[in-house]
Amino acid sequence: MNAQISAGTNRTSRRRIVVIGAGFAGMAVVHALRNSDADITLVDRNNHHLFQPFLFQVATSILEPAEIATPIRSLLHELSNVRVEMREATRIDLRRRAVLMNEGDPLAYDILVVATGAQTSYFGHELEWSQHALGLKSLGDAVAARNRLLRAFERAELEPDPMKQARDMTAVVVGGGPTGVAITGTISELAQRTLASDFRNIDLRKARIVLVQAGPRLLPAFSERHSAYAARALEAQGVEIKLGAPVTDVDATGVTVGGERIEAATVLWCTGVEGVPVARALGANVEPNGTVAVLNDFSVPGHPDCFVIGDAAHVVGRDGRPVPGLASVAQHQGRYVGKVIAARLASATPPKPYETFTPSKLATISRHVGVAEFRGRSITGYPAWLMWGLLHLRSLSGGGHAKFSILANWARLLVTYRRSGRLIVEPSELVGRRKRPEVAEDTSTETSNVVVLRP
């Protein structure tokens, strides 16, 4: 197998560092090592670094993909010691120090950083539920969710059957965390404010938007006061909230929640994450949710040359609970591991043990309402939304162009409720070329007088 292991194009004596995943954690490691004397290979299955905190705004037509994602190559093109490979790591061979790929030769490493992040978990029902309840982890997920929601409203406008029409006008969001709360609020605004006046047959002010939370309150990571505030804010927008209501079934036409059946054309799954499969390959130290338990320096016990960071790592904070899967946390870990690796490359003394930090909590509820716990202070309403928006915008890596573009979209939304991105777009390649109508498509009972298409 060694023969299969490529050392990259420039086979040198320099150390080979492989980073899997170009999320916040992986990018932070690479930037921390930008001046190191090593050959760095960054592997990702996508060609872009995604700013996940704004993903729900793409799903709800507020922002466009290009505003929250940047090509990895353009972010790193000045780092001459970094190579970017767009392919998917499928396996890790710790013994041989090689990463196996979905295509092409395995990649040999001297030092490996696994920053593969998390993926949507359906709690064991992936096969049955994932096709009906759309996750929200990638740009593809967001575009799919947008297409489904907009298509459902278009169908409702044409639907003569009141039952089906009601179903097409119902959206269920599963998960009462920050993402679930944010997307629920923006969906209800999309229906009631942005779209309502565009339809003639249906009244989208009557669209049914349901937020389902298995636990006893929304935003469980926040204070009870903020949970209550978020619930009030959403209910004021006409959102139905179901607490203590676990999902027991999902199918093409709706969900079953706490024994109650809800007919819904759109179901979004914003609860439950798990480690990405490749991280599970690290074996013994894998938690039930697929994350990997690591040592103080984020290395895998028994494998000092293999680090796991970000959502892929199981890290416990001061409060004894796993640290939240936030961008700031992932970046903090990435920068630290970058220092660890740099010290090792220089045979210098390693940095002092990692200290977890308590990130400020920010959540947005709707167009200009949020809650925040910032340096011990509790903030709600517009100030909290503003803080959410500006703090995130600051850390957006898309550069000035994207930042400005996002600000322009937000400003317009604040003033007019208008959203530009309400497009249903599907790459022709995937849909297949629109086939020509056939005579067989004739829906009339009597065809003699019907003009028939030429073959």
As a whole number of angstroms, the distance between CA 187 and CA 233 comes to 14
Rounded to the nearest whole angstrom, what is the least distance from the CB of residue 201 to a copy of itself in the complex? 5
Residue type, 84: V
Identity of the residue, 233 or 406, whose beta carbon is nearer to a copy of itself in the bound complex: 406
Identity of the residue, 147 or 380, whose beta carbon is nearer to a copy of itself in the bound complex: 147
CB proximity list for 131: less than 8 A, separation 6 or greater: none
**Which region, left, alpha or beta, applies to residue 272 given φ > 0 means left and ψ of -120 to 50 means alpha?**
left
Give 256-265 contacts, CB < 8 A, sequence gap 24+.
257/172, 257/212, 262/170, 262/172, 262/210, 263/163, 263/166, 263/167, 263/170, 264/167, 264/170, 264/171, 264/172, 264/208, 264/210, 265/148, 265/152, 265/155, 265/167, 265/168, 265/169, 265/170, 265/171
Rounded to the nearest whole angstrom, what is the least distance from the CB of residue 220 to a copy of itself in the complex? 27
Choose which of 35, 104, 244, 350 interacts with a copy of itself (CB under 8 A).
Answer: 104
Rounded to the nearest whole angstrom, what is the least distance from the CB of residue 327 to a copy of itself in the complex? 19
Tell me which residues in 105-124 interact with a copy of itself (CB under 8 A).
105-106, 119
Contact flags string 363-392 toward a copy of itself, x per CB under 8 A: ------------------------------
Identity of the residue, 18 or 230, whose beta carbon is nearer to a copy of itself in the bound complex: 18
Choose which of 13, 347, 349, 428 interacts with a copy of itself (CB under 8 A).
Answer: 428
Contact 375, 385 (CB under 8 A): no
Contact flags string 313-352 toward a copy of itself, x per CB under 8 A: ----------------------------------------
Label residue 413 exposed, middle or buried (CB < 10 Å: 0-12, 13-18, 19+): buried
The size of the interface with a copy of itself (CB under 8 A), counted in residues, is: 107
404 is an interface residue for a copy of itself by CB under 8 A: yes
β-strand 208-212 against 111-114: which pairing, if any? Answer: unpaired
Nearest-CA neighbor of 29 among 40, 15, 16? 40
Rounded to the nearest whole angstrom, what is the least distance from the CB of residue 381 to a copy of itself in the complex? 27
The pair of structure tokens assigned to 143 is: 């575009």
Contact 309, 115 (CB under 8 A): yes
Choose which of 42, 108, 143, 262 interacts with a copy of itself (CB under 8 A).
Answer: 143
Choose which of 87, 217, 368, 403 interacts with a copy of itself (CB under 8 A).
Answer: 87
Contact flags string 264-283 toward a copy of itself, x per CB under 8 A: -------------xx-xxxx
149 is an interface residue for a copy of itself by CB under 8 A: no
Contact flags string 158-187 toward a copy of itself, x per CB under 8 A: x-x---------------------------
As a whole number of angstroms, the distance between CA 375 and CA 373 comes to 7
Rounded to the nearest whole angstrom, what is the least distance from the CB of residue 213 to a copy of itself in the complex? 24
The pair of structure tokens assigned to 134 is: 């759309």
The pair of structure tokens assigned to 99 is: 């990463």
As a whole number of angstroms, the distance between CA 321 and CA 32 comes to 27
434 is an interface residue for a copy of itself by CB under 8 A: yes
74 is an interface residue for a copy of itself by CB under 8 A: yes
